[in-house]
Structure 1
Amino acid sequence: MRLVRINERLAVSEQISPRNIAPLARAGYTAIINNRPDREALLQPGADAIAAAASREGLACIHLPVTGPDITEETVRAFQQALAASSGPVLAFCRTGARSLILWAIGEVLDGRMRKEDLIPFGAERGFDLSRAVDWLTAHGR
């Protein structure tokens, strides 16, 4: 599991498994945001398995499944609410980490904390292509 720290409150990663939860708890994470729809891939652990492992370790677990074409301002705001509700650091994951980062990045631009033109270099510095976030913002008149 490759964690990419975005800021003091958020890290993103590719798909995690239930066995990754205890090390995340030991590392100080207090919540997990699962942005992956169930059965997106053949051998992917289900949201229920991730949530059960998180519960055993005392971590909150929010299942906010989304695919790239399905991103709405409502899903962006739900992501922000889950992050804000956490008492500590949050790990958000999807297949590669990109969707989770895109949700965060769109929210940052919508709320004026980042500029749209800064997203591509921000993502590239962290190993992600945020062009879909830029495209979403442009398509929504931002």
Structure 2
Amino acid sequence: MEPRKLSDDFSVAPQIEPEDVAKLAEMGFRTLITNRPDEEVDEAHSSKAMAEAAAKAGMNYHYLPYYPGEMTFDLVADFEAVMKSAPKPAFGYCRSGTRSSHLWGMSQAGKMELDKIIETAAHAGYDHSSLMPVLKFYATRRGKIL
């Protein structure tokens, strides 16, 4: 498990193991966000199991399931609310880390230059270039495109 840093407050990775949670806490992460729906994983990787591992490690835990192809305004708003209130830095994961990185990107639209969002994600190993129309839309909803 290698965290891929998107900002000082948020990193992502592909699916982690329950024993990785303690390692994340040792690395300084204070919040764990699961974006992988329980329907995609076995019981050992369920949100319940990961919440227990986070509690044992002294981390905050949030389950924000992001079903493939189903990014919604509510999901992005929920992610933003978690990121606003949760202790940082936070660590998010899903099957490959892509959905977690998409939520971060959407949360930055209108706050960060869109090209910078794409560049930052690419540096972390995620291609967000196909998200540009959606990023523009989210930025427009916030009243600005950077």
Same fold (TM over 0.5): yes
RMSD (Å), alpha carbons: 2.1
1:29–1:68 CA distance, 2 compared to 1 (3 A): same
Render the CA deviation track for 1:38-85: whole Å, top value 9, x for unaligned: 131568711111110101111111000012321011101111111121
2:123 to 104, 122, 125: 125
The one-letter code sitting in structure 1 at the alignment partner of 2:112 is M
State whether residues 119 and 134 of structure 1, in contact with CA within 8 Å, keep that contact through their aligned partners in structure 2: no
Structure 1 unaligned segments of length 5 or more: list them.
Answer: none
- Would you identify which runs of 4 or more consecutive aligned residues in structure 1 move more than 4 Å? 41-44, 138-142
Q: Counterpart of 1:68 in 2: which secondary structure?
A: coil
Structure 2 unaligned segments of length 5 or more: list them.
Answer: 141-146
Correspondence for 1:72:
72
State whether residues 102 and 132 of structure 1, in contact with CA within 8 Å, keep that contact through their aligned partners in structure 2: no
Aligned residues: 140
| Counterpart check, 1:115 vs 2:113 | yes
Q: Counterpart of 1:33 in 2: which secondary structure?
A: strand
% identity of equivalent residues: 29
Q: Counterpart of 1:65 in 2: which secondary structure?
A: coil
1:140–1:87 CA distance, 2 compared to 1 (3 A): closer
The one-letter code sitting in structure 2 at the alignment partner of 1:23 is K
TM-score (norm 2): 0.84
